[in-house]
Each structure stands twice: as structure tokens, then as C-alpha cells.
Structure 1
Amino acid sequence: MGRRVSLSLVAGLGIAGLGIAGPGIGGLVSSVAAQDASPATQVSVADQEAATIDAQPRVETSVPAGFELVWSDEFDAPGLPDPTKWKYDTFRNEKGWFNNEKQYYAEGRLENSRVENGNLIIEARQEDLAPGRFPDWSGQEYSSARLLTQGLGDWTFGFFEIRAKLPCGTGTWPAIWMLPSEPDIEWPAGGEIDIMEHVGFEPGIIHHSIHTTAFNFSRGTQKTSKHELPTACDAMHKYQLLWAPNMLLFAVDDQPKFLFQKESDKKTRWPFDKPQHLLLNVAVGGTWGGQKGIDPSAFPARMEVDYVRVFQPTNLIGQQEQASSK
């Protein structure tokens, strides 16, 4: 599945840019032997095949040395998600969601987003949503939720880890991803980071992608990778991102899967130097998720999230604190 790629100098390109070094994902990356490509070669898979990294499970910890926890939600309090950490994205309900998706994203509705048994549940349901109860409803036959981090929930650079179990079933499209926090930036100029996407008609296939002005799916130029994770819908797995000044490294369960390296200072190719926030959602149908139709028997379908954790280098945290105090 895909060609093997060179990562031999990734630690020098990315981790060193944050002023830290040591074990963890960064240490593993630096140890992977070079094969087939020079360290400066961009990991690019135009034909949508995977760029696969063969690595043995030899990482003691997933968090790089020199990083510390700056934000987390362990989902310990039952009920609606913590409003100090999460808000709901509903702005396209009345017009219809992008990509021809079929869901209505509900706000503060336990049927679609709740914490139970120590997990965040985002549940897509097939149901009749009466317009009297939901003024922005525009005829969608499915409900779901789309959560965004808020408060201190946006970051520039760091290590992100989300432990989750995914829904399967044709027509489901769960995602763990990031978008720019600046509201006036139009997609894809600010950059999109897809830590994990999964479409139900291909159960157990995990996708990692980035989108920018130069590299995006509307032009067929997005940078992307896919790989098999047979138990994605049966068990919890850690979906991880190491975001450094010169690279984005995607991993699952501490194993690197996809690398995107900075090769240009042009914002069309590397806009990833501004704050972004995290999004968690389960979409229904759409131009990708609905390619094989929507199976009504797949619903209700839910993504379960054990925790969300964000780490940053200690020296970077200090710089940000000094800047905010001026």
C-alpha cells in the first residue's frame, strides 16, 4: 500500500524547530531509516494511495520529551459536554451543510452529544426534526453534533492525542480535525488538518489529510494518506498529530503514518503557523461519505471519545505566557 518514504531527518526539520529533543514520536521518527526518497522530499500521494511508514512498536511514550499538558478533557462529568471547553457549530443548518451532507447539527441536545460512562458520545440519528422545535431545521432527516474547542482551546504547534472508537455503517463520516481560529479566513486559505477521517462504506480504513490553497480536494491536489486499522469501529485507538514549524506528522497508537513537510514559505502551501481549534463530528452522507448511499440500519451511529489531550513544548508555553502578559 503506497511507497515507503524517507523520515530520517524529520526530527531535525520539525522537532528541533520547537527547541526540544528526545524520545516519543519525535525520537521514533528520527530513527526510521531512509528509503526511496531524500529527506527534503514532500510526502505526496496524488492518486490517493497511502504513504505508509513501517515502524515497530518501540515508543515508550507517545508524548515527545519536553512537552507538557496544556489542555484536556477526560469526560468525567455526565451530561452535556463541558461548555467552558466546547461549543456547537450549527451555522449551516438552515442552508445545508458543505459537501452535500445530510445531517442537522444540534446544539445542546443529549440525543446527539453527551458524556456517559467516562466517554463523550457524538451520535448521528435518523429522525423527524419538527421545525417548531428547531427553527434552523431545513428538512434534514438525520441529526448529529459538531463540537469545537473554545476558551483556551486553540493552539499553534503541539502534540494532539484523541482516543476514540468510530462508527461503522454505510453513510457515516466521523472526523477529528482542525481549522483556523481566525473567523475571517476562508477555506482553504488558512489550512485544514484532518487528524482522522473514516467513511463507513470502507470500514477500518483511516485517512489523514491536509488542505491548503495549493493542496485541496476541490483541485484534486490534497496531500493525504490511508491505512488499515481493522478494529477502528470495535476498540479505542489513539489518533495523534505532531505539529511543528516545519512538519505535520500523523500517527495512530504511537505509530507514524503520514508526514507532510514544509517546503515553501508561501501561505498557499504552508499556512500552518497560526492558531487552530479542534473539531469532533459525525457527518451523514455527502459527496464522500455518501458515495455508496446511506444505510438506515446503520443508525443510531456514534463516535465515542475517551479523552482529548493537547501538549506543547515548555519553552513555547513560556513564550506565549510572556506575550499574553504584555
Structure 2
Amino acid sequence: MPFKNFLSDIKSQVKDLQKQGQQFLGQQQQQQSAPPSQSQSQPHYQHQQQPPHQHQQQQYPAQQYQQSPPLPPSTHPNFQAQGGPPGQQPLPGQPKVYWQPRFDPATPISQEWEHKLGNNNGWGNNEMQHYTAEASNSFYTPNNLLVLRAISSPSHPDPTKKYTSARLVSRQRLGRPSGSLVASLSLPCAGGIWPAFWLLPYEPFTWPTDGEVDIAETWNGDSINHTCLHWGFYSPEDKAKHRVVGTPVQGMQTGRPVRFEFAWHQDRMVWWIDGQAVMKAPVPHDMNRPLSDFVVLLNIAMGGNVCQGQVPREGMYDFVVHEMKMLEEPEGGWARFERDWAWVREGDMI
């Protein structure tokens, strides 16, 4: 082929490739500008801030919900769930699930959860919130998420409505001598805000002698998860029964769903965050209540001792539960449990 013809042919091919590239980019831009589907697992919140009096006028019953609830002021409105960092996903395995709440907006929250109500004299920590069973503080979304919402309205004339939130207790118990509890959570991160995913024995119980297990807990927007164990009295004899590990969690302030897992087996416990073991502890030999008696708690506390006196700014702060389930063994099996037990640290004594 003459060089002139060859060069013309190359130019023609380049033009064709440029045209195809422009068509592809146009398609991508159209896809990106399309509105998000309601079937996606991660809600596309619209950031909204409203004065206190409007918080009390608005209601968010699941049956009337047309859009996903707004993201709290401290989190990023454009985050899309992509899971944890590479290499930090749970190991493969399909253990049997024996409890998984559905978060179905057609059913009341009270079917799976009990609402705890009121201020209860600050819940032992001088906390400011009043827990309610109102749909403004806890609800299911059309895309099957559970949302707990703390609302800060400091100028509200009713003292019981200045700071409102939700505290839910599962009707399901751990109910097994061995097992695993997994949840994918987006936690609110802001000054004066203290969300928690934790375990207590079913009522009646004595605290802390009957035990407390903290799986996800952070406060004042520091993006540090506090994995904790409390058992026995706060005395020198029981010091080893109170342990904690602080773990910085990448992306927590963006609203990224963080995967938390807790497993118990043969008088031992292991905690994981995004598939990485962060703490282990033996079950105290003289415990009054077995772990099978424990239930799940979800709540957002506001202000108080743990928040070191910080008060949340006016606004709404959402704790989003994307998924929760109880399994007969950890994801990855008991071999994973034993392997991580061999190397992960015990918590620091408090």
C-alpha cells in the first residue's frame, strides 16, 4: 500500500475512534445525571437543615415516605456505598442465618424491636435526649433500611422535645451457646452525638455485674470506634473484666456503611470491623448471665458525660442500619475465629 494511502487510512481510523469515544462519554454523562433508583441499598439523601419548630411539625411514617431521609449535617451527601477498603472484606463463607430483621416499611418497628422511652434521669451519664417511639425518631425506608434519628431543637419550648432520639431493643436474643452477630451501619459523627450498637442481658438485669458488650460506639465525631466489654464491679478485683480498644475507622464521617461483627464461642469473644479483627476477650468465668440471654440495643445518645459536655448543634443526625443478622458461626467459619483469636489483642483494662 502506498504510504500516502496508508496515512489516509490511519487518519480515518483515528476519526472513527474519536467519534466512538465521544458517543461513549455522552452515554456515561447521561447515566450519571439520571436520578438514583429507589431500589438501591444505600439511600441518596438530600442534605437539609431546618429550624427546630419544623422538626416537630414534620412526620416521617414509613407508609408516606416518598424520598429517603436527609443525611445528618456531619456526613457527606454524595457518598455511594462501595464496601470497605480492599483486602478488608470478611472471608468467604455462607453460615446459616437464624435471625435477620427485614426492615419492611409495611410492618411496625415494634414487631422486631421494643422502644425504650424517656430520659431516665440522664441514663446514668447526664444525657440530654428523650427517647420516643415517634416515627420522626425511628422508621423504615422504602428501600428497607432502619433509621434512628436524633433531632436537636434547643429552642423548642417543650423541654422533652429539645433533644429527641430513639433507643431500640431487639425482641430476639442471641439464643445460642456459640454464634455471630453482623451489622452494616452508617453512624452519625458530630459533636455531642453518641451512637451505639451493643448488647445487654434481657430484663431484668443488674448493670454492670451482669455484663455489657459494645460492638460499635463513637462520640463527638472523632471517627474512632470503641470496642468495649464491661462485667462485674468497678473494683481492683474485677478490673480485667472491663476492657476497651479504640480503632480509627476510615470513612466513618462520610456515612460509609461500616461492617461490624461479634462472635462468641467456647467462653471466648472476638470483634471485627470491616473484616479485620480488632479485639478479643475471654468470657468471665463467674458471669451471672450467659451470652445466650443477651439482646441487641441500638440508640443515639446526646450530650452528657461521655460527650464531655458537648451539645449537638441544631439539626438531624441519622444512624442507618443497612443490614443485621445473627449467624450460627462467623463468616469464614470457626477456623477464622481461631486464627484471629491467636493474634488479635485483648482490650486495655479500664
- Would the TM-score normalized by the shorter structure come out above 0.5? yes
Hey, which of these two has a bigger chunk of helix by percent? 2
Q: How does 1:170-185 map to 2 (within 5 A)?
A: 170-181=191-202, 183-185=203-205
Contact 1:89 1:105 (8 Å CA) reproduced: yes
**What runs of 5+ residues in structure 1 fail to find an aligned partner?**
1-55, 132-137, 315-326
Q: Which residue of 1 aligns with 2:230?
A: 211
Contact 2:88 2:275 (8 Å CA) reproduced: yes
Matches of 1:226 and 1:177, distance apart in 2 = 15
1:194 to 214, 220, 223: 214
**1:73 alignment partner, SS class:** coil
CA 1:294–1:242: 2 relative to 1, 3 Å: same
1:278 to 292, 296, 319: 296
Q: How does 1:121-270 map to 2 (within 5 A)?
A: 121-127=147-153, 139=160, 141-150=162-171, 152-156=172-176, 157-181=178-202, 183-202=203-222, 204-214=223-233, 222-234=242-254, 235-262=256-283, 265-267=285-287
How many residue pairs end up in the alignment?
239
Cα-to-partner distance string for 1:194-232 (whole Å, 9 max, x where unaligned): 011010242x1111001001468xx87620101111211
Contact 2:300 2:319 (8 Å CA) reproduced: yes
**2:305 alignment partner, SS class:** helix
Identity value in percent: 23
Matches of 1:209 and 1:313, distance apart in 2 = 21
CA 1:59–1:82: 2 relative to 1, 3 Å: closer
**1:277 alignment partner, SS class:** strand
Deviation above 6 Å: which 4+ runs of structure 1?
Answer: 128-131
Larger radius of gyration: 2
Q: CA deviation at 1:185?
A: 1.9
1:293 to 310, 334, 337: 310
**2:125 alignment partner, SS class:** helix
Under a length normalisation based on structure 2, what TM-score does the superposition of the two structures give? 0.61
Cα-to-partner distance string for 1:75-110 (whole Å, 9 max, x where unaligned): 2x22675322111012x5354422111100001x11
Are residue 60 (structure 1) and residue 91 (structure 2) matched?
yes
Are residue 100 (structure 1) and residue 120 (structure 2) matched?
no
Q: CA deviation at 1:170?
A: 0.1
Are residue 120 (structure 1) and residue 164 (structure 2) matched?
no
Contact 1:160 1:311 (8 Å CA) reproduced: yes
Aligned residue identity for 1:188: P
Under a length normalisation based on structure 1, what TM-score does the superposition of the two structures give? 0.66
Aligned residue identity for 2:218: H
Contact 1:74 1:306 (8 Å CA) reproduced: no
CA 1:241–1:94: 2 relative to 1, 3 Å: closer
Q: Which residue of 1 aligns with 2:324?
A: 308
Cα-to-partner distance string for 1:40-67 (whole Å, 9 max, x where unaligned): xxxxxxxxxxxxxxxx647532x6x7x4
**1:233 alignment partner, SS class:** helix
